[in-house]
Structure 1
Amino acid sequence: MFSIIKQSLNNGHRGGIAFVLGVSFSDILLVLVSNVFTELFSSISSHRVPIGISGSIFLIGLGVYFVFFKKVKVNEQGQQATISFRKSDYAKIFLSGFFMNLLNPGIFLFWITASSTMLSHTVEQRIIIYATCLLMVLASDIAKVMLAGKIRNRLTPHNIHIINRINGIILIGFGIALIWGLLVYLKRM
């Protein structure tokens, strides 16, 4: 949630929507794959540690970038500069949302669990359930983007810089928590 709001604040409505669409596309992909390859996921879950490490490294890397390297661009009036994006920039934002969601082991395991509990439902019922769930998630994410745009004009570049740092610290924290969880998981084995 915080990453969606931060993307909207830093990149405007279009950048936020590109990020949300990346997240949504990865959810759709995970739903499709988890339903088609439910048996495959039982063997993939044995690779939980490498998937978790990849996701953790990705989150920590993003966090380090936001804490130490992400700069807020300001114009002559001291306000946040408007950035014009090319299609490739939107593609990068889309892919960051896609991979941030896809490499999250929690999301991965959520859809595996959901697909395995839905095996007793008919295909039509599953389509309705998943479509409703995915549309609700997408609608709430788009609402976050639009609401972030409403507060955007009230934020100073300094406040946005602080938000970027907080977001970075949160991402680093989640990455470390994922690694910690993997270490605990390995100890139990």
Structure 2
Amino acid sequence: MLEAIWKGILLGLLLSISVGPVIFSILKQSINNGIKGGFAFIIGVSFSDISLAVAANFFTELFSQLTEYRKYIGIGGSVFLITVGVYFLFFKKVAVNEEGKQILKVRKRDYLKLFLAGYFMNILNPAVILFWLSTATAFIANTSEQRLIIFGIALALVFAGDVLKVVLAGKLRRRLTAKNIHLINRLNGIILIGFGIALLWGLLFYSDKLPA
């Protein structure tokens, strides 16, 4: 039991410190849409991680077959990242008041959009799919109860880390001007486009060299 707890902690810390397009989007969504908007986004990310973890552990054969289509899933994910990046780089505007401060305009239906954005940005990344499959395979010798502890702790730690990012970004937002927030949006757009192009390049020219 203690071994399962330690494995869960280490796995959670590994996921928490990993750098990818999602971490930048968490900060950006929190700055653009406030703490509630940031929470909606990370809940979507968390649900996608839970979906993948459950599928990898309890539907291993089906999940393994899904990885055979990782090239097509990855292309879809790359296009999604590039499209979102282009939007934030060229089209996203920051609403300001007469004092030049940011105005938050987040409607109830926008929270669903943020949830779905977090869900699909994470679940369409083939690296995330392969990570959960390889992790589930590595712990296949553990009992169902032990795996529940390992992945439960890991997912809880990742979510806690994302909550911390949202809170810190919310505090940072109060110190930023509209101009600075606009620059952050453009930077995030460049990062997303860069991740999308790099992922697409690897899938188109190096996917045949990856292990099946």
Structure 1 segment 1-189 matched on structure 2, within 5 A? 1-83=23-105, 85-186=106-207, 188=209
Q: CA deviation at 1:48?
A: 1.4
Where 2:160 maps in the other structure, the secondary structure is helix
Which runs of structure 1 show a deviation greater than 4 angstroms over 4 or more consecutive aligned residues?
A: none
Residue pair 2:102, 2:177 contacting (<8 A) in 1 also: yes
Tell me, in whole angstroms, the C-alpha distance in 1 between the residues paired with 2:209 and 2:136: 26
Amino acid at match of 1:133: A
Residue pair 2:32, 2:104 contacting (<8 A) in 1 also: no
Residue pair 2:67, 2:129 contacting (<8 A) in 1 also: no
Tell me, in whole angstroms, the C-alpha distance in 2 between the residues paired with 1:124 and 1:7: 36
Where 1:72 maps in the other structure, the secondary structure is coil
Q: CA deviation at 1:153?
A: 1.1
Where 1:29 maps in the other structure, the secondary structure is helix
Tell me, in whole angstroms, the C-alpha distance in 2 between the residues paired with 1:123 and 1:2: 34
Please list every run of 5 or more consecutive structure 1 residues that lacks an aligned counterpart in the other structure: none
Amino acid at match of 2:50: I
Tell me, in whole angstroms, the C-alpha distance in 2 between the residues paired with 1:47 and 1:82: 40
Q: CA RMSD in A?
A: 1.2
Amino acid at match of 1:102: I
Provide Cα deviations, 1:123-142, integer angstroms capped at 9, x if missing partner.
00000000000000000000
TM-score by length of 1: 0.96
Amino acid at match of 1:60: I
Tell me, in whole angstroms, the C-alpha distance in 1 between the residues paired with 2:205 and 2:139: 29
Tell me, in whole angstroms, the C-alpha distance in 1 between the residues paired with 2:108 and 2:143: 40
Q: CA deviation at 1:108?
A: 1.0
Q: CA deviation at 1:36?
A: 1.4
Tell me, in whole angstroms, the C-alpha distance in 2 between the residues paired with 1:143 and 1:82: 21
State the aligned residue count. 188
Where 1:80 maps in the other structure, the secondary structure is coil
Aligned identity (percent) is 59
Tell me, in whole angstroms, the C-alpha distance in 1 between the residues paired with 2:195 and 2:207: 18
Q: CA deviation at 1:188?
A: 3.5
Tell me, in whole angstroms, the C-alpha distance in 2 between the residues paired with 1:11 and 1:52: 28
Provide Cα deviations, 1:55-109, integer angstroms capped at 9, x if missing partner.
00000000000001100110111111132x3321100000000000010111111
Q: CA deviation at 1:184?
A: 2.8
